[in-house]
Structure 1
Amino acid sequence: MTWSGVFPAVTTKLKADGSFDQQAMASSIERLIANDVSGLIVLPMLGENASLSQKERDEVLDLSVATVAGRVPLLSGLAATSTADATFMAKNAQQRGLKGLMTFPSLAYKTDRRETVAWYKAVAAASDLPIMIYNNPIAYKVDVDVETLEHLRDVDTITCIKEETGDTRRVTDLINAFGDRYTLFCGIDDLIVESLSLGVTGWVSGMTNAWPKECVEIFNAARAGHYEAIRPLYQLMTPAFHLDTDVKLVQYIKLAENIVYGAPAGVRPPRLELEGEELARVSAVIRKTVDDLAAYRAKAG
């Protein structure tokens, strides 16, 4: 596992009747790989993990493993309410050929530090897979902070942190505390250039599902320190990247995929597809991004 580059959090494609759309999922994976992403994460929150049955999750994993065929690292999101379910999912992912886990805190309730440490240690002990900790205290109310990570320092398979506090100061705090013990990924689309300037090595991205070429271009240029050159493209993309930070990011990003390349936009209840003013507003942001990108490319020659 090489923990660097752009790892899109892949949406789970659904048919009009709500069932898993294998053909659309395989096509989307091929499109991402063709545009030089460094890895893939299936069944993230964007993949509606918690809304799927275990049978459906297994279908997503098996289809993804077969489609990727070892060309890039393939991770699975791990979202569970109980430790027993979490350890089962870790073992199941390893048996099905996944190469790593992006592990949420327990979805059951807000764990304290002792419980959070125990949770991640239990998941780590269940398989040999390397683990990316999904740290999103805004959504999940659990902050895997410096002190918590100190208790996990000796767990060898916990190797990476998806940093999604929304506070870029955390990147520097983690580097100061741990050096290179943990690899750091940015987990917020509209903070990627800022985070790269501070030392992250990877990006778990939502809007890469819609615009993989542009997202890889932004990442590679910023990682190389070419900030001035990439700033116009980043500024152009930022209104669409803001959609990644909304509670309805699943609907917004699936809509972007639909508008940009025709992928199905259906979601699994309790999420509902967009309508009315919200649909018009989000569609306008996406369509303006499409138009602005066309003008940007034409100007660049």
Structure 2
Amino acid sequence: MAIKWEGVMPAVTTKFTTDDQLDLKMFQTNIEAQLDAGVNGIILGGTLGEASTLTYDEKRELTRFTKELVGTKVPVIMNIAEQTTKGAIKAAEIAEEDGASGLMMLPPMRYLADDRETTEYFKETAKSTSLPIMVYNNPIDYKIEVTLDMFEELLKEDNIQAVKESTRDISNVTRIINRFDDRLKILCGVDTLAMESMIMGANGWVAGLVCAFPKETVAIYKLVKAGRIKEALEIYRWFLPVLELDINPKLVQNIKLAEVATGIGTENVRAPRLPLAGEERKQVQAILDKAMATRPEITSEVLVS
């Protein structure tokens, strides 16, 4: 299935039962809510998906289940976060076998690769697969930046097509457009900068809090793209305190608690993560309680526009 690399693409959480098994029933409930809101893709196995805690078989089960669930409605994209080029190539092969439509790729994990090593890592993986690739550029959390000069080299591979822009430098959107025009699609990867990035020309939003608030997220995207900035701002200003839960070391727990608030998830996480507790939980719950009490009404007219 072709990927346009635009719109809202949820980096979905992985649902677990109380006895630490995959909770495919609740996972389906959440995915159906995403589809009903009009998202443009589903991304599995990212940070929010707790991929580092998933077994090899669980990742395969999630990919196959999601592909069967969404059919041809939207592309299913699997994240690759591997330590070796060999491992990344194998992960890409498995994702393709299991029906994924594309890949999101982090730089090499653990080893702090230099520019040449990072570039070769992406290029060798791209050469090994027919799947289109979005490079996840997040030097804040993962310590390796994919520079514009590196992208110039990477774009020699036709299936490297997009970037999840998470440098947290809003002007980088303009730099990318000035350098590459439409050759490199841009999806904002930081919830608190999403509206600003799209106004500056980003093609879409790899979102986190969409996991709990899909209609609000899609509405912001559609209103911005329609030039209805004032209407988008009304939703975005309401949303911002909740979006800030995404830029936090406990983002997985925060967002899963938000999913509980909206009825499309559970708090269950996989150890060593634990659900929020004490004062930390109270603070997050207070943010969510206020958001739910003042939640805007999203009309169907906005979602289908």
How far 1:4 moved relative to its partner? Answer: 0.9
Question: 1:75 aligns to what SS in structure 2?
Answer: strand
2:147 to 145, 148, 158: 145
**Counterparts of 2:112 and 2:260, CA distance in 1:** 35
Q: How does 1:140-289 map to 2 (within 5 A)?
A: 140-289=142-291
Q: What letter corresponds to residue 100 of structure 2 in structure 1?
A: L
Tell whether the 8 Å contact from 1:3 to 1:160 is kept in structure 2 after alignment.
yes
The gaps in structure 1 that reach 5 residues or longer are: none
Q: What letter corresponds to residue 47 of structure 2 in structure 1?
A: M
Q: Could you say which residue in structure 1 is the equivalent of 2:54?
A: 52
**Counterparts of 2:87 and 2:269, CA distance in 1:** 24
How far 1:108 moved relative to its partner? Answer: 2.3
Over the aligned positions, Cα root-mean-square deviation in angstroms equals 1.2
Q: What letter corresponds to residue 46 of structure 1 in structure 2?
A: L
**Counterparts of 2:181 and 2:91, CA distance in 1:** 30
Tell whether the 8 Å contact from 1:36 to 1:216 is kept in structure 2 after alignment.
yes
Tell whether the 8 Å contact from 2:162 to 2:187 is kept in structure 1 after alignment.
yes
Q: Could you say which residue in structure 1 is the equivalent of 2:302?
A: none
**Counterparts of 1:200 and 1:262, CA distance in 2:** 28
Q: What letter corresponds to residue 99 of structure 1 in structure 2?
A: S
**Counterparts of 1:219 and 1:48, CA distance in 2:** 26
Match status 1:102 vs 2:126: no
Q: Could you say which residue in structure 1 is the equivalent of 2:81?
A: 79
Question: 1:101 aligns to what SS in structure 2?
Answer: strand
Q: Number of residues paired by the alignment? A: 296
Q: Could you say which residue in structure 2 is the equivalent of 1:14?
A: 16
Q: Could you say which residue in structure 2 is the equivalent of 1:297?
A: 297
Q: What letter corresponds to residue 246 of structure 2 in structure 1?
A: D
Q: Over residues 67-122 of structure 1, what are the superposed CA-to-partner deviations in whole Å (9 max), with x where a residue is unaligned? A: 11121111111111121111111000111111000111111222110011011012
Q: What letter corresponds to residue 71 of structure 2 in structure 1?
A: A
Q: Over residues 9-33 of structure 1, what are the superposed CA-to-partner deviations in whole Å (9 max), with x where a residue is unaligned? A: 0100001111111111112111110
Q: What letter corresponds to residue 154 of structure 1 in structure 2?
A: K
**Counterparts of 1:40 and 1:297, CA distance in 2:** 24
Tell whether the 8 Å contact from 2:155 to 2:161 is kept in structure 1 after alignment.
no
Tell whether the 8 Å contact from 1:82 to 1:108 is kept in structure 2 after alignment.
no
Q: What letter corresponds to residue 161 of structure 1 in structure 2?
A: V
Tell whether the 8 Å contact from 2:26 to 2:264 is kept in structure 1 after alignment.
no
How far 1:153 moved relative to its partner? Answer: 2.0
Q: What letter corresponds to residue 45 of structure 1 in structure 2?
A: T
Q: What letter corresponds to residue 223 of structure 1 in structure 2?
A: K
**Counterparts of 1:274 and 1:96, CA distance in 2:** 34
> Percent identical across equivalent pairs?
38
The gaps in structure 2 that reach 5 residues or longer are: 299-305
Q: What letter corresponds to residue 107 of structure 1 in structure 2?
A: M
**Counterparts of 1:266 and 1:83, CA distance in 2:** 32
How far 1:138 moved relative to its partner? Answer: 0.6
How far 1:262 moved relative to its partner? Answer: 4.8
Tell whether the 8 Å contact from 1:45 to 1:77 is kept in structure 2 after alignment.
no
